[in-house]
Structure formats: C-alpha cells, structure tokens
C-alpha cells in the first residue's frame, strides 16, 4: 500500500512534469492545414458550455472558441467570462475528480458570471459567490489515468458542495483551471491513441474528458429516441454537447473529417464513446434501466477496440474565432 506521504510526493512530481511538458509541447506546435473546399450540411442549432465539469449546461447565442474550447464573449468591465469545464469537483481525501457518474446531482449545480467572480446555485441551497482564484496551479488531482493541475477555490464553496452533494460538512472541494497548462493526452490515453491516431496533446479542453469541443447531431438524437421505450425518452442534453447541429441525416456525422462553423474550423479526431453519464437525467437522477446507453449498445458499435457505443464527435480546434447560433455548418468535401 502506498503511504499518504508517498502519494503527495508523486502528485508534486506529476505537477512539475506537467508544467515542463506543457512548455515543450507548446514550442513544438505546428499549424494544421485547413481544407479549401466545403459543403454546407446544416446549421448550428445550439451552443452550450458547462462551467462546472458535470454541472448544469448554459446555452449561449454567441461565443468565442479558442484552442481549449468555448468561452462567453466578455459582457462588460470586471464581469467574469465563463469557460467550458473550467471548474471541477474533487474529493478532499484522495484528490480524485468526481463527475455526475458518481454524483448525479452535480448536473443541478449552476454557475453564473458576475462582477469579479461567479455565483454557484443549486436547488435548496443559498446562492454562493466566489472569486475566481488568482493563485494558479496549487493542486494536482487525479482523473482516471490523468493528472489535472488546478487551483483550489477555498473552504466556503467546499462546504457548500459537500452539503449539497454528500449531505455532509466536508468531503468535496472545487478546483479551477484557466487553461494555461497543456494536458499530456498521449501518455494518459496511450491505448486510445494507438487506435485513434488523431489524438494529440492539443486536442484537450481545460477539464473535459478528452477534447476541446464535442458535437451532437439532432437527427442522431431523434434516431435514438425512436428506439427507446416511451417512458425513457431523452434529449440532446443527456450527451452534454457544446455544439448541436441541425440538418444532417442521423449519424451522417460519422463520415466527417473537418467542420467549419462561423469563424471556427475544427478537425474530427475521434468518435465520442458513451458511458454511464448519458443515463443521468436533468433532474439529477440516474436511469435505473441504463437508458439510453442500453439501447445504444444494441446498434451503435465502435470501429475501434473499445466496447462503448459511439454517439457524436470529439473535435480539435485548428482555427479559433467567434461562432453564433444559426451559423451555417460546413464539412470538408473529402469524407471518410
């Protein structure tokens, strides 16, 4: 058994390693080639960002998309610009990241921007204002095979989260990341990268599972719904996308290689393989029949070595810029 002191030494070493790797990778970054022939396939029906990883999604009509994903357009002097999945939950004891897979009620937590900070709100809880931390990268937390470097947001919000999620005074904490560090995806997701060769260390969002952008096709969601029992219908929100596209036929997105919407160009790096989090509804409960995952497993089969059903796309941002609801969606003329 590894001792607590040994664990802290390992985490500290991991933090230093991540910082060094980030600097080296940034220097080696090479600009991707952008296709010059495009086909219009539909429109951008909705834009969604999730300030808290596994928290409530916020719909925006216009955003800026950078290498680490989307953020709100600045609303005024001193008003915080929310970034996608820039806050995360982690346990105070083991510093392990927690999501709706372990804490379904997390989807009820809303984060709103305000002057010099953000407001956290949840059913039955008093709203809590917190300052976005000025200190950077003082905690390393564990998410599966990967380490995230973040900033702890203090005891007040830790108590607030613990009471809501655990019904205790302690146990859960909040981390924040500003997107300044790279993540070593090639090391953390080595087995995935062996098959999905488009995975690299520039794909990631701040604290997203893998990629900076996640796209869902509304027709594909409708197709799943047609196969679900009447009392288990879902919405696109079960899949927690950033971009909701309307127009293409169901699962036409499986063939896409590059996407252009607004000023943004993105490269399809891999299919989004689905887990138990899709069974968490917007009321903060988990579907006891494992729907829609159970139905997806019957007819959506990954081409890769992993036995999870694919639904949607993970995208790497190769040209940053603004995009807004209603923008035409284009795909590169060359398809898979």
Segment 197-234, tens digit of pLDDT: 999 999 999 999 999 999 999 999 999 999 999 999 99
pLDDT-above-90 percentage for the chain: 81
**Segments in the chain below pLDDT 50:** 1-29
Helix (H) or strand (E) holding 293: helix 293-299
pLDDT of residue 104: 98
CB atoms within 10 A of CB 19: 15
* This prediction's pTM: 0.89
Write out pLDDT tens, residues 249-292: 999 999 999 999 999 999 999 999 999 999 999 999 999 999 99
Question: What is the Cα gyration radius of the chain?
Answer: 20
- Please tell me the predicted confidence (pLDDT) of residue 15: 42
The pLDDT of residue 304:
83
| Cα distance between residue 216 and residue 311, in whole Å | 7
Strands (E), 99-201: 110-114, 117-121, 128-131, 139-143, 146-152, 172-176
CATH code for the domain defined by 38-332: 2.40.33.20
């Amino acid at each position: 058994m590894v001792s607590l002191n040994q664990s802290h030494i390992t985490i500290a070493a991991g933090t230093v390693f991540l910082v060094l790797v980030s600097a080296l990778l940034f220097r080696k970054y090479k600009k991707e080639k952008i296709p010059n022939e495009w086909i219009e396939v539909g429109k951008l029906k909705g834009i969604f960002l999730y300030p808290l990883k596994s928290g409530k999604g916020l719909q925006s009509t216009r955003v800026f998309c950078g290498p680490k994903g989307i953020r709100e357009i600045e609303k005024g002097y001193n008003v915080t610009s929310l970034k996608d999945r820039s806050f995360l939950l982690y346990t105070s004891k083991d510093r392990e990241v927690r999501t709706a897979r372990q804490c379904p009620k997390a989807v009820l937590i809303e984060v709103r921007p305000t002057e010099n900070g953000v407001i956290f709100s949840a059913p039955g809880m008093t709203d809590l204002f917190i300052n976005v931390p000025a200190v950077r990268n003082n905690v390393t937390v564990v998410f599966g095979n990967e380490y995230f470097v973040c900033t702890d947001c203090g005891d007040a919000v830790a108590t607030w989260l613990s009471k809501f999620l655990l019904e205790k005074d302690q146990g859960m904490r909040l981390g924040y990341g500003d997107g300044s560090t790279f993540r070593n995806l090639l090391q953390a997701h080595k087995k995935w990268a062996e098959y999905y060769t488009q995975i690299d260390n520039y794909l990631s969002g701040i604290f997203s599972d893998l990629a900076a952008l996640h796209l869902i096709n509304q027709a594909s969601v409708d197709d799943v719904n047609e196969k679900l029992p009447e009392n288990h219908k879902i919405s696109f929100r079960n899949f927690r996308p950033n971009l909701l596209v309307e127009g293409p036929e169901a699962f036409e997105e499986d063939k896409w290689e590059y996407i252009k919407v607004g000023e943004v160009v993105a490269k399809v790096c891999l299919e989004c393989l689905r887990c138990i989090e899709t069974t968490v509804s917007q009321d903060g409960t988990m579907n006891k029949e494992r729907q829609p995952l159970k139905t997806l497993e019957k007819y959506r089969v990954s081409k890769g070595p992993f036995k999870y059903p694919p639904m949607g796309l993970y995208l790497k941002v190769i040209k940053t810029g603004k995009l807004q609801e209603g923008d035409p969606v284009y795909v590169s003329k060359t398809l898979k």
